[in-house]
Structure 1
Amino acid sequence: MTVTCGIDWASDHHDVALVDHEGTLLARARITDDLAGLHQLLELLTTHGDTANAPAPIAIETSRGLLVACLRATGRPVYAINPMAAARYRDRHTVTRKKSDHLDAMVLANILRTDKAAHRPLPDDSELAQAIAVLARAQQDAVWDRTQAGNKLRSHLREYFPGYLAAFQHNREGISSSVARAVLAAAPTPEQAAKLTRAQLRSLLKKAGRQRGIEAEVERLRDALRVPQMRQPPQVEQAMGRQAIALLRQLEAACTSVDDLTEATVESFDTHPDAEIITSFPGLGSLTGARVLAEIGDDRSRFTDAKGLKAFAGAAPVTRASGRSLAVMARRVKNQRLASVGYVWAFASLTASPGARAHYDRRRTDGDRHTAAQRNLFNRMLGCLHHCLTKRTPYDELTAFPTTPTPQLTIAA
């Protein structure tokens, strides 16, 4: 490796710097964020010794975007440098703390020149794995958007229509359920809701997809929506009803997005070769398994051992030692999406795996709180997942949680 490249990216242009093994600036340029700019960058790299057998490594402060995707398609190793790490390196080149796009590009190039071994290139995931990552992350974002839209609507209804919230509080999905949304769309105010007839409620339930217990639900909703409650003035109530309809449209769009993206995510994940192994683990289904695969990818060389995967997910603790001071704490710098699905995975495995339940109970007995015990269980499961994906073998309960043999008592004659 004689040449390293640093790219300080922006929305409409990118600054490029090439340095040799001694840190000497070989070339600098500002390219546009289009196909012409990409060709200019590739010509610049080729001019300074970049070949197919020895591609120049490239450092950039992002892992997404068309430029990164095109550079990865050419087979060049791309390193996504954390902006905080790049800011620390900048102080090595200037004590006045000056900053410019060209200087940032040089800093990124020098990071790979001096500390390439401390950073990892972007994983060489398959096209299917990258597509699953896009869908799984979009689905998770849509779920968060649905939760936010539901919270906004719930907060608004509490100001003028608490009877509606009480009518659907027993439902697991709450006001996000199809029945609740259909009833609110037909009667957004307490006055309109109290006038709903049995026939109208029956029609709304069938329209929302209800098939069983319709008559009992009709009577329950009719009584619940007619319970006396505090009311806003009539004109204010009508205005707030119009606002509720606007918020309901946002919730409807979020729910539709969640359903569509869930179907697409599961469909793509089920065709991946790793799907069978991932879903063999207790607590992981097609959707949660897709979220796991989206974050760890299918490049098995990305994590050389299970420790790297555990640290990436934030399941492994971090140790801070200085002199006689020693502190072991939970890892905060981690992949938040993988840590989020790990909490769901560990919780679901408690009822699906006797070994996982025994491991959790043992940690609780030793003094761990609920979150710490689940994180430790997630850490154990990640080690098993790394082994199974590496060896191409499904999950085995006895291998993951071997039972301790009961000592035999011998009675002296």
Structure 2
Amino acid sequence: MSDPKRWYAGVDWGSQSHCVFLTDDEGRKLGQKFFKHSGEGLAEMADWLLTTSGAEMAGQVFVAIEVPHGPVVETLIERGFAVHAINPKQMDRFRDRFSMSGAKDDSRDAEVMASSLRTDPRCFRKLAAGDPIVVELREWSRIADELGFERIRLANRLRAQLWRYFPALLELEEDCGAEWLLDFLGIAPTPARAARLREVRVAQFLKERRIRRFDAAAILKAARATPPGLAPGTVEAASAHVASILPRLKLVNRQIKEADRKIGALIDSLAASEESEPGQEKQHDAAILASLPGVGRTVLATLLAEAWEPLQRRDYPALRSLAGVAPVTKRSGKSCIVVRRQARDNRLANALYHWARVAVQHDPRSRAKYAELRRRGHSHGRALRSVADRNLNVACAMLRTGALFDPALAAQKAA
């Protein structure tokens, strides 16, 4: 029985238009066309692929694209096309087949992708529609990261201004984005205003915000410390700058809390979305990963958001490559060099770093592996990457069995 007929298309996407190149299963050009980036344009693209190819169903048309997400990919998957993604660096190497001069244009790139998918399908990754909860979780996880960076940026600006004219407050709180400090600057933006505060008022302020690390006397002592001698107008200018930062920092703090709440709710929804069959005790992936030592809510959200597909396949080699913990070997003749992998998902790599760091503190086997690697002369980062590599292997094994992590069983095996 012969294989069903297939057609191959390459999509070179752009911000305003997308170039599509279509060939048959023998590499003959069937057509090429540009489509506007709009709802009507993407619908026209899908209709053109079916009409020009003459395929009976969309699944017979294999589409290659560099970007594995976005409206183009989602439209084509929704219409039933077999969409495949390729790494841009691999795409660059395939381009050399058609031109050694380094020439590049949209039409040629679309042709290169269509031809490469026909001849080298193993280099492509088939895409599928994502779980709606995972799609939302991925976005909120990235939002939380962006908000965290924004909070650090604003807190550093606030610290710089306080260092200018009100350094005594920096001795009370290391985190310049702390809610209580922002509220205190609202009622005492300058040393002169802080010196006029009464102890009863400060005590009430601390009680309302449930601050027990220090009392009103400590606050007043710092607030009434002799300020640095400054040129006229400096306090007014710096306090005005602080006043412009405070509302933005408060807003970011509220948004971070909302993002954390939403991420927690989505993880709970994801864990509840897959029910076990009657008579089985198989746990959901989110619950299994959360049971591992060192996995908190932020690490769990990043794992589920950035590595959902390889986690579903229990694909340990793909996971370790995506996270950057798999080393790269360069061997030629008698030379053999092993270097750190640079092509990785940076958010996932950062999550695994913190997972390994916390696991070393709480898991005896992770701590022993880290200590042995350090004894052998490996750096802190190199040792943590090895611990993260082991953690991924353990996670994949647990996902295959569907069992939660059991510290007692782990300790028994270690003994």
- Quick check: TM above 0.5? yes
Residue 362 in structure 1 maps to residue 408 in structure 2: no
Task: List aligned pairs for 1:287-306, cutoff 5 A.
Answer: 287-297=298-308, 302=313, 305-306=315-316
Change in Cα spacing, 1:398 to 1:45, as seen in structure 2 (3 Å) is farther
Q: Deviation at 1:219?
A: 1.4
Displacement of 1:147 in angstroms is: 1.5
- Match of 1:294, as an amino acid? A
Q: Secondary structure at the match of 2:343?
A: coil
Deviations for 1:38-73, whole angstroms, at most 9, x for unmatched residues?
221111121204444733222222223222222223
**What SS class does the counterpart of residue 269 from structure 2 fall into?**
coil
Q: How many residues align?
A: 397
Measured in 2, the distance between the counterparts of 1:105 and 1:280 equals 45
Q: Is the 8 A contact 1:266 1:287 kept in 2?
A: no
Match of 2:404 among 376, 385, 394: 394
Check the 8 A contact 2:46/2:79 in 1, yes or no: no
**2:372 partner letter:** R
Structure 2 unaligned regions, length at least 5: 272-284
- Gap change, CA 1:299 and 1:50, over 3 Å in 2: farther
Report the CA distance between 1:223 and its aligned residue.
Answer: 0.7
CA offset at residue 103 of structure 1?
Answer: 2.0
CA distance in 2 between partners of 1:375 and 1:39 (Å): 45
Secondary structure of 2:61's counterpart equals: coil
Cα deviation for residue 163 of structure 1 reads 2.0
User: Judging changes above 3 Å, is the alpha-carbon distance between structure 1 residues 399 and 31 closer, same or farther for their aligned structure 2 residues?
Assistant: farther
Alpha-carbon offset, residue 329 of structure 1: 1.6
2:119 counterpart of 1:114 = yes
Q: After TM superposition, give the deviation of residue 314 of structure 1 in Å.
A: 0.9
Are positions 1:283 and 2:298 aligned together? Answer: no
Aligned-residue identity in percent: 30
C-alpha distance in 2 between matches for 1:298 and 1:119: 14
Alpha carbons of 1:31 and 1:158: their partners in 2 closer, same or farther (altered >3 Å)?
Answer: same
| 2:252 is aligned with 1:254 | yes
Query: Are 2:94 and 1:83 aligned?
Result: no
Q: Structure 1's 152 and 42: CA in aligned 2 closer, same or farther, altered over 3 A?
A: same
Pick from 118, 121, 137 the counterpart of residue 132 of structure 1.
Answer: 137
**2:50 alignment partner in structure 1:** 46
Q: Distance in 1 between matches of 2:397 and 2:55?
A: 37
Tell me by how many angstroms 1:310 deviates.
Answer: 1.0
Q: After the TM superposition, which of the residue ranges 284-293 and 327-336 deviates more from structure 2? A: 284-293
Contact kept in structure 1, 2:310 and 2:316, CA below 8 Å: no
Task: Give the 3 Å change call, closer, same or farther, for CA 365–233 of structure 1 in structure 2.
Answer: same
Give the gaps of 5 or more residues in structure 1: 406-413
Contact 1:157–1:165 (Cα < 8 Å) also in 2: yes
Please give the alpha-carbon distance, in whole angstroms, between the structure 1 residues aligned to 2:111 and 2:207. Answer: 64
Change over 3 Å in CA distance of 1:211–1:192 after alignment to 2? closer
* Residue 22 of structure 2 is aligned to residue 11 of structure 1: no
- 2:27 maps to a residue whose letter is G
What's 2:231 paired with? 233
Aligned to 1:181: 182
Go from structure 1 to structure 2 and tell me whether the alpha carbon gap of 1:323 and 1:219 turns closer, same or farther (over 3 Å shift): same
Report whether the alignment pairs 1:223 with 2:221: yes
Partner of residue 333 from structure 2, selected from 312, 323, 330: 323
Q: TM-score, normalised by structure 2?
A: 0.88
Query: Does the CA contact (< 8 Å) of 1:384 and 1:400 recur in 2?
Result: no
The corresponding residue for 2:164 is 159
**What is the CA RMSD across the aligned residues, in angstroms?**
2.3
**8 Å Cα contact 1:126-1:298 kept in structure 2:** no
CA, structure 1 residues 111+257, in 2 after alignment: closer, same or farther (shift >3 Å)? farther
Residue of structure 1 in register with 2:360 after alignment = 350
SS at match of 1:321: strand
Change (3 A) 1:91 1:185: farther
> Is residue 336 from structure 1 mapped to residue 341 from structure 2 by the alignment?
no
For the residue of structure 1 that corresponds to 2:60, the secondary structure is coil
CA–CA distance in structure 2, aligned partners of residues 164 and 50 of structure 1: 71
The answer for the alignment partner of 2:24 in structure 1 is 20
Q: Find the aligned partners of 1:161 and 1:324 in 2 and give their Cα distance.
A: 63
Match of 1:199 in 2: 200
Conserved 8 A contact 1:277-1:395:
yes
1: CA distance between counterparts of 2:123 and 2:313? Answer: 14
Instruction: Please point out which of 305, 312, 320 is paired with 1:310.
Output: 320
Distance 2:336 2:411 in 1: 30
The letter for the 2-side match of 1:396 is D
AA at the equivalent of 2:389: N
Q: In structure 2, what is the Cα distance between the partners aligned to 1:327 and 1:88?
A: 23
Contact in 1 for aligned 2:58/2:79 (Cα 8 Å): no
Whole-angstrom CA distance in 2 between matches of 1:14 and 1:347: 44
Distance 1:298 1:307 in 2: 13
State the one-letter code of the partner of 2:298. Answer: L
Cα distance in 1 for partners of 2:386, 2:310 equals 25
* Contact preservation (8 Å) 2:310, 2:318: no
